Structure 1
Amino acid sequence: MKAEDIKNLNIAIIGAGYGGAAAAKALSLLGADVTVYEQASQMREVGAGIGLRPATMHRFRQWGIFDTIAKVSSPSDYFEILTATGDPIMKDTWPEFGEQTQTHLIHRGDFIEALLSVLPEGMVHLGHKLETIEDKGGRSVLTFTNGKTVEADLVVGADGIKSVVREQLFSIKGPVFSGEHAYRAVISTDDAHGMVVDDNLRMYMGRGTKVYLLPLRHRNQMSFDITALCPDSTWAPTITKDDLVATVEGFDERIVNIARGLDMDTVNVRAVYDIDPVDTWHTDSVVLMGDAAHSMLHHQGQGANSAIEDAGALADALTEASTVKDALALFQASRKPVTDELQRISRQGWTEDEVNDVFPGQKPTSQKPATVNAPAQSKA
């Protein structure tokens, strides 16, 4: 689209998470009139640490915000996969992207705070939960539960795995239980029993359990993540300290000791869900992105990275196509094959024997047995 046409676009982004904030930055740099509507009354990101891949950091450099992200993260040179007791399985450098060769390890809270800090003041409107969206072809009408109604030339549904935009316009498919629980905490390096030695991600693999150790040395902390097969599909299950420690039985004694020392009030406990691939992401003027379009399991560490790459690809498509409708088709054509594959391989996290141990005679909907996969690198 011509620059003057993009500047005349009124864009409403639903959701101020990673994808929504990144899309707001990328689209506002094109000169579009962008407003972000977020249902939360204040931004608070729970969870632990994530890795921002070289392709993602390349986008941040392109948008002029690399330094903002880099100063609250630690650059990592490689990742390592080990057995439960610490015997090496594989070790590899991160797939480079242009001049970017390192993955940056960051706390989720620091990440969303940094992204929001680079947006123009007043662009993000908190306390706006989407109630209905009416697609009128070249324009949409949005109604929020607080009574506000707005119109937009382009609506970007970045409202996560439980997306209202997706449910109302694209698909009635809801989240799919993976057969897993995730237990996540951020601890002091002093409580890590000597397991923080550098800035590199390590994953320890036991039977039916994986433990991810993601150092955040710039914070003097480590992100500690246990992922375990479990039949309880309760969205926010309740577990005891004994339950948690039992999942790491047989692991390196230092990992067991970390688990024993956790304050359960600081542990984020959740059942793990994704969604099945969505056939179509867009209408003429509404588009899904991030978890709303392709929520995936975390085994490949690509959820946040995919959302950032979506934001960049959407901005690119608007500059390359002649109309919004054509841009959304181009965006889906460029991104959906990549995210479909990431969704597929992210579901291949366990062996058949491991799954049968927990789900005798059946498999959870999203799990398919597979061998070990190294963290994949998506292409922008």
Structure 2
Amino acid sequence: MKSIIVGGGIAGLATAIGLHNKGFDTAVYEAAPAFTPAGAGILLAPNGMEVLKRTNLDLFHRVQQLGNQITRLQVVTHTHKKLAGADFKTGNLCYAIHRAALIGALAEQLPPEALHTHKRFEKFTEGSSGIKVSFEDGSQASGDFLVATDGIHSRVRGQLLGKLPYRYAQQTCWRAIVPFKLPQGYQHTFTEMWGNEPGLRVGFGAIDDEHIYFFATYFTSAGGKDDPKSLKQDLLSIYKDFPPLVLDFIKTAQVANILRNDIYDLNPGSQWHRGRVALVGDAAHATTPNMGQGGNQALESAWVLAECMAKVVQQPQRLTTGFAQYQQQRLKKAHKVVKDSWRISRLVNLKSGIARGVRNLAMQYMPPRLAEANMEKVYALEYDF
């Protein structure tokens, strides 16, 4: 059987690897001229790392080589008062890695002839014996089923389910990879600092010995644009109350490498497949990045889909059953992550200084075992195939 995958990001490549491992003839079609990531860095949480391990040991070890192990997460105020934190237990591996390195590692696991660029999706046509995908350049691809991994603004999902509502989190986000060496004690810690204004945060961690990944959020209306000439000074002004360390790596960042994106998610929907088409990753369950789970949930969905399709490769009549099992297995957890992440964005956006103070106290006095239990639920791969 042949699978067509539209979208060559983390979700698309991971889905292709999983299906390829199960014996499917798989092809990935990416709109961009190359398999380049739309992002800077990513934190591969224990669930994402475990998915890679179960998918392909060579891939798992390659990511370990390319990334930097994170042994602790901490959330502090901009004055460095502790709000929350957790150490990763033995066996719960977490790595910070450049998205380009991750995409490269994923692509290496697929035959070169399976990867196609300059292929922007136009439409699909479904028949009783297969599906045909048309691209804007006039070319077509035929297969037995289609997996849409083309992100939150999925064109495939638009044709399949119509227009779905996006939710703006009232925050924009700047991200960058910066050549910067963190001080002693920070090398294996990912730190998130919350400021004294709504939506004001900075997160950072090392992705290797010489580079860090940082993100910075800000409460503002959607659609804002940066002036390259003043961007760095604008950021230094917005985050002026943060520690010198933060200001130093902002100063070091190259303006051309600073990405800006407004933060949206999808209001959780309960339909991820229809006919010969299934949705994976942000096309199905786009989430705000507050829990660092966007890419990790995409990896989970890719892996679960492949496991649910294992019998389909020999029994094509089970296609709908495979899709339905995938949705049933993943829906509850993915929705919980989306909802919990959205709640965090609401907490970050509190406008009242008093409310933010109460929030901080509540976070400080939350029993560590409760926070750890919540994290363990996110990291657990509790599926029944």
Q: TM-score range by the shorter chain?
A: 0.7 to 0.9
Report the equivalent of 2:72.
78
Deviation at 1:350, TM superposition (A): 4.3
Deviation at 1:77, TM superposition (A): 1.4
User: 1:184-235 deviations in whole A, cap 9, x for unaligned?
Assistant: 1211224x5x3773212111111321110111124x111121111111x117
Query: Closer, same or farther in 2 for the Cα pair 1:13/1:42, shift >3 Å?
Result: same
Match for 1:53 among 37, 40, 45? 45
Match for 1:197 among 166, 186, 210? 186
User: 1:218-258 deviations in whole A, cap 9, x for unaligned?
Assistant: 4x111121111111x11765573332122213222321333
User: 1:6-28 deviations in whole A, cap 9, x for unaligned?
Assistant: xxx11101111101100111110
Distance 1:47 1:356 in 2: 29
Say whether the 8 Å CA contact 1:314–1:328 is kept in structure 2.
yes
SS at match of 2:343: coil
Report the equivalent of 2:134.
143
Match for 2:29 among 33, 37, 55? 37
Say whether the 8 Å CA contact 1:53–1:102 is kept in structure 2.
yes
Distance 2:159 2:297 in 1: 23
Matched, 1:312 2:303: yes
SS at match of 1:162: coil
Say whether the 8 Å CA contact 1:171–1:278 is kept in structure 2.
no
Report the equivalent of 1:365.
none
TM-score (norm 2): 0.85
Query: Closer, same or farther in 2 for the Cα pair 1:235/1:304, shift >3 Å?
Result: farther
Matched, 1:338 2:338: no
Say whether the 8 Å CA contact 1:188–1:221 is kept in structure 2.
yes
TM-score (norm 1): 0.86
Say whether the 8 Å CA contact 2:270–2:331 is kept in structure 1.
no
Matched, 1:19 2:11: yes
Report the equivalent of 1:93.
87
Match for 2:169 among 169, 178, 198? 178
SS at match of 1:211: strand
Distance 2:203 2:153 in 1: 26
**How many equivalent pairs are there?**
355
User: 1:19-50 deviations in whole A, cap 9, x for unaligned?
Assistant: 11001111101111111111111122243221
Deviation at 1:263, TM superposition (A): 3.1
Query: Closer, same or farther in 2 for the Cα pair 1:237/1:196, shift >3 Å?
Result: farther
Structure 1 unpaired stretches of 5+ = 1-8, 359-368
Report the equivalent of 1:222.
212
SS at match of 1:272: strand
Distance 1:269 1:300 in 2: 19
Comparing 256-265 with 266-275, greater Cα deviation is found at 256-265
Say whether the 8 Å CA contact 1:140–1:154 is kept in structure 2.
yes
Q: Percent identity?
A: 23
Matched, 1:248 2:239: yes
Query: Closer, same or farther in 2 for the Cα pair 1:11/1:85, shift >3 Å?
Result: same
Say whether the 8 Å CA contact 1:50–1:106 is kept in structure 2.
yes
Structure 2 unpaired stretches of 5+ = 354-358
